[in-house]
Amino acid sequence: MVELNQLLLKFETNLTWEAVTQEWKERRDSWVREVQAAVEPSQLAEYLIELESDIQWEAVQNYWKLYRKSWVEDCHSASTMEEVSSLLLELESNTTWEVLSDEWQENRENWVQQVYEFNDE
């Protein structure tokens, strides 16, 4: 379980401050601790929703505005690591390059591969 927590944190860490709301900047430290302590996939899914809801609209693809509602519903019903990892990949793939760190482009392939490993279990 620790691995998916770490992958969620790695994605969040690579978001620039321009990508997130002021509220996120204030909430982030406690969110990180909560993600690190999470033991259930459903908890991680809730933290994923919380992160997404503090990402600015300009930081995501236009399509996300249409798709978001069903994604949030999927997060609320997620109960397995496989489901949560897929939801994390969906959010990442709909986040624009402009709001991710330069290192993300170099590390993304490896990160995606690690997230996909949860779909093989």
Residue 60 φ/ψ, nearest 5 degrees: -125, 160
Mean pLDDT of the chain: 95
**Tokens 């760190």, located at residue:** 101
* Per-residue model confidence as pLDDT tens digits over 38-50: 999 999 999 999 9
Rounded to an integer, the average pLDDT of 81-100 is: 97
How much is the pTM?
0.94
* Per-residue model confidence as pLDDT tens digits over 2-28: 499 999 999 999 999 999 999 999 999
Task: Report CA-CA distances (Å) from 115 to 6, 25, 28, 65.
Answer: 10, 25, 22, 24
What is the rounded distance in angstroms from the CA atom of residue 67 to the CA atom of residue 71? 6
**Domain ranges in the chain?**
2-119
Contact yes or no for 50/12 (Cβ under 8 A): no
Contact yes or no for 94/67 (Cβ under 8 A): yes
